[in-house]
């Protein structure tokens, strides 16, 4: 959900949202993921049906959450678990170390869910699918598009502990980051290109303070001085700094900054260690090739969005993205 932090437009919060979805490609999962075109047809069928709206998506299938970026994905898969509020019996993912005070935009998702349910005359589209499309459309606002596979179903539980144990944190070294991604079936290329989501947004002082004062050898002095004015050695934990020089524009400035000692987070600089390794080469490649970044970013997002989808009868289609359905 990193991208949701800077999503400023309710891009399809009206019945016209259906016309904005791109045709999707078939996934390689043995469990079927319906294409966007078919999903659109299902919504139309639901709208014209005299039957009562079903709490289950008719003929759909996968699982989503915050499976839309590199730092705040679901711990179970792409299943919308990050949207669940805490209950007496469950402490969810919103207050995990990676997400607390960072992941935002939940009210935007609520508004979209309401608009989609109105358009479809019932509870047809999962919160997981809404997250996947919202992430894509936030990127579309600043550049190219990519396909989104639809048909996910929503999780009925979430876990702060699991999120803390599995979501990458901004203090990891490159080997830890790569191992984390590989455990999900993702590659070094996926790690580098998905980190490009940091072309948008900001980070809090508490996450970049250690780099600012303990990694001066890899920081551009002018850049470090500017950060020092925002983020003192102690206090002002919430002070914000942009993740690249163009925080509201989708571009490759993020990669260019990394090669110039202007990486805000430790994990960002870990992608470019200056040792001539494969990660260095990928960062340089995307810094110089915006078109390739768009192409590979879309492919990686499609791959990320298909992690462990809930399908068939698993999970549910939540009526309210913040709570599981009753009964």
Neighbours of 300 (CB within 10 A): 23
Distance from C-alpha of 8 to C-alpha of 87, rounded to nearest angstrom: 29
Query: Annotation-wise, does 315 bind a ligand?
Result: no
Query: Annotation-wise, does 34 bind a ligand?
Result: no
Return the DSSP state at 113.
Answer: H
Query: Annotation-wise, does 93 bind a ligand?
Result: yes
Query: Annotation-wise, does 246 bind a ligand?
Result: yes
- Chain CA centroid to CA 155, Å: 17
Neighbours of 305 (CB within 10 A): 32
Query: Annotation-wise, does 147 bind a ligand?
Result: no
Least Cα distance to 136 among 151, 128, 126, 148 occurs for 148
- Adjacent-strand bridge partners of 204: 240
Query: Annotation-wise, does 247 bind a ligand?
Result: no
Q: What is the DSSP annotation of 227-284?
A: HHHHS-SSS-TT-EEESSS-TTS-SSHHHHHHHTT---SHHHHHT--SS--HHHHHHH
- Chain CA centroid to CA 115, Å: 21
Q: In a 3-state reduction of DSSP, which class is residue 60? A: coil
Helix (H) or strand (E) holding 204: strand 202-204
Distance from C-alpha of 220 to C-alpha of 241, rounded to nearest angstrom: 15
Query: Annotation-wise, does 228 bind a ligand?
Result: no
CB proximity list for 182: less than 8 A, separation 6 or greater? none
Least Cα distance to 143 among 248, 265, 46, 73 occurs for 248
Query: Annotation-wise, does 168 bind a ligand?
Result: yes
Distance from C-alpha of 195 to C-alpha of 70, rounded to nearest angstrom: 6
Query: Annotation-wise, does 190 bind a ligand?
Result: no
**Torsion on CA atoms 267, 269, 273, 276, rounded to nearest 10:** 110
Query: Annotation-wise, does 77 bind a ligand?
Result: yes
Residue set of the binding site = 77, 79, 81, 93, 168, 198-199, 244, 246, 251
Known binding-site positions for Ca(2+): 77, 79, 81, 93, 199, 244, 246, 251
- Binding residues for substrate are 168
Q: Which residues are annotated as a binding site for heme b?
A: 198
């Amino acid at each position: 959900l990193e991208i949701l932090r800077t999503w400023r437009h309710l891009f399809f919060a009206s019945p016209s949202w259906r016309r904005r979805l791109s045709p999707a490609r078939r996934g390689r999962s043995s469990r079927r993921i319906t294409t966007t075109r078919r999903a659109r047809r299902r919504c139309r069928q639901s709208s014209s049906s005299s039957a009562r709206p079903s709490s289950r998506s008719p003929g759909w299938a996968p699982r989503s959450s915050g499976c839309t970026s590199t730092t705040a994905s679901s711990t179970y898969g792409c299943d919308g678990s990050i949207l669940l509020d805490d209950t007496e019996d469950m402490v969810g993912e919103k207050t995990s170390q990676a997400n607390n005070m960072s992941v935002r935009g939940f009210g935007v998702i609520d508004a979209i869910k309401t608009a989609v349910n109105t358009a479809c005359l019932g509870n047809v589209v999962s919160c997981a699918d809404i997250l996947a499309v919202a992430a894509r459309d936030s990127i579309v606002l600043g550049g190219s598009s990519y396909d989104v596979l639809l048909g996910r179903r929503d999780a009925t539980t979430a876990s702060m502990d699991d999120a803390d144990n599995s979501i990458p944190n901004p203090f990891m070294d490159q080997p830890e980051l790569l191992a984390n991604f590989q455990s999900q079936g993702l590659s070094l290329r996926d790690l580098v290109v998905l980190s490009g989501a940091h072309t948008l947004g900001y980070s809090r002082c508490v996450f970049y303070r250690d780099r600012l004062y303990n990694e001066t050898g890899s920081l551009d002095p002018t850049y470090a001085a500017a950060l020092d004015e925002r983020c003192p050695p102690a206090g002002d934990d919430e002070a914000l700094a942009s993740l690249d020089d163009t925080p509201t524009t989708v571009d490759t400035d993020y990669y260019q900054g990394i090669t110039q000692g202007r990486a805000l987070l430790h994990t960002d600089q870990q992608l470019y260690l200056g040792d001539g390794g494969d990660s260095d080469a990928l960062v340089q490649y995307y810094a110089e090739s915006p078109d390739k970044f768009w192409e590979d970013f879309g492919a990686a997002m499609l791959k990320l969005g298909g992690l462990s989808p809930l399908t068939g009868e698993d999970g549910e289609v939540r009526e309210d993205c913040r709570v599981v359905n009753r009964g």
